Structure 1
Amino acid sequence: MNASRDIRIQGIPDTVPEPTAAVCRSRLLTAVNKLIDETGLDNIRITVGDASSFSSFWENINLPGRGDSNQKNRDPELSPEERAKRYEAQQPIFTFKQLVIPEEVEEDLLLAVDLIRLEFKVFDEWGLRKIEPFPRTALNFHGKPGTGKTLAAHAIASKINRPILVASYAQIESMYHGEGPKNVEAIFLAAERDNALLFIDEADSLLSKRLTNVTQGSEQAINSMRSQLLICLEQFRGVVIFSTNLVENYDKAFETRVRNINFPMPDETCRREIWKRHLVEELPIAEDVSIEKLAQIEDVCGRDIKNAIIDASMRAARQDKEEIGISEFLDSVDRIKKARINVTSEPMQLTPKEKEEVAEKVKAAIAKKEQETTS
Structure 2
Amino acid sequence: MSNTNSSPIIVSGLPANLDEADSAYWRSLFDGLARRLIKEKGVSELSILLSTANINSQRDNQINTKQKEGEKRRNDELTVGERAEQYKPRESLFEFDFLILPKQVKDDILSAINLIALESKIFDAWNLRKIEPFPRTALNFHGEPGTGKTLAAHAIAHKLGRPILIASYAQIESKFHGDGPKNVEAIFYAAERENAVLFIDEADSLLSKRLTNVTQGSEQAINSMRSQLLICLEQYKGIVIFATNLVSNYDKAFETRVRSIYFPLPDKESREAIWKQHLFFEGGPPLANDVSLPKLSEIDEVCGRDIKNSVIEAALQAVQDNKSSISMQHLVDAVEKIKSFRINDTDNKILIEKIKSKIE
Report the TM-score when normalising by structure 1.
0.72
**Counterpart code for 2:290:** D
1:3-32 CA distance string (max 9 Å, x none): xxxxxxxxxxxxxxxxxxxxxxxxxxxxxx
1:167-193 CA distance string (max 9 Å, x none): 110110111110100000000111111
1:253 equivalent in structure 2: 253
1:221-260 matches, cutoff 5 A: 221-260=221-260
2:293 equivalent in structure 1: 291
Q: CA deviation at 1:320?
A: 2.4
Change (3 A) 1:105 1:61: farther
1:73 equivalent in structure 2: 71
Q: Is the CA contact (8 Å cut-off) linking 2:115 and 2:136 kept in structure 1?
A: no
Q: CA deviation at 1:144?
A: 1.0
Q: CA deviation at 1:222?
A: 0.7
Q: Is the CA contact (8 Å cut-off) linking 1:142 and 1:263 kept in structure 2?
A: yes
Separation in 1 of the partners of 2:330 and 2:305? 17
User: Which one has the largest radius of gyration?
Assistant: 2
2:328 equivalent in structure 1: 326
Q: CA deviation at 1:70?
A: 2.8
* More displaced 10-residue stretch of structure 1: 222-231 or 88-97: 88-97
Report the TM-score when normalising by structure 2.
0.74
Q: CA deviation at 1:323?
A: 3.3
**Counterpart code for 1:230:** L
SS in 2 for 1:262: strand
Change (3 A) 1:318 1:61: farther
1:335 equivalent in structure 2: 337
Change (3 A) 1:198 1:249: same
**Counterpart code for 1:217:** G
Change (3 A) 1:66 1:272: same
Q: Which runs of 5+ in 2 are unaligned?
A: 1-57, 345-360
Q: CA deviation at 1:321?
A: 2.9
Separation in 2 of the partners of 1:65 and 1:119? 53
Percentage of matched positions with identical amino acids: 63
1:218 equivalent in structure 2: 218
Q: Is the CA contact (8 Å cut-off) linking 1:113 and 1:159 kept in structure 2?
A: no
SS in 1 for 2:240: strand
1:192 equivalent in structure 2: 192
1:1-375 matches, cutoff 5 A: 66-74=64-72, 75-280=75-280, 282-340=284-342
Q: CA deviation at 1:221?
A: 0.5
Change (3 A) 1:65 1:331: farther
1:367 equivalent in structure 2: none
Change (3 A) 1:329 1:171: same
SS in 1 for 2:335: helix
Separation in 2 of the partners of 1:339 and 1:112? 36
Q: CA deviation at 1:270?
A: 1.1
Separation in 2 of the partners of 1:271 and 1:221? 42
Q: CA deviation at 1:201?
A: 0.8
Q: CA deviation at 1:303?
A: 0.5
Change (3 A) 1:270 1:319: same
Q: Which runs of 5+ in 1 are unaligned?
A: 1-59, 343-375
RMSD of equivalent CA atoms: 2.1
Q: Is the CA contact (8 Å cut-off) linking 2:116 and 2:135 kept in structure 1?
A: no
Change (3 A) 1:317 1:82: same
Q: CA deviation at 1:72?
A: 3.4
* More displaced 10-residue stretch of structure 1: 326-335 or 96-105: 326-335
Aligned pair count reads 284
Separation in 2 of the partners of 1:126 and 1:312? 54
Separation in 2 of the partners of 1:65 and 1:92? 43
**Counterpart code for 1:119:** E
Change (3 A) 1:133 1:290: same
Separation in 2 of the partners of 1:266 and 1:148? 10
1:78-106 CA distance string (max 9 Å, x none): 11111111112122111111111111111
Change (3 A) 1:237 1:65: farther
Q: CA deviation at 1:282?
A: 4.2
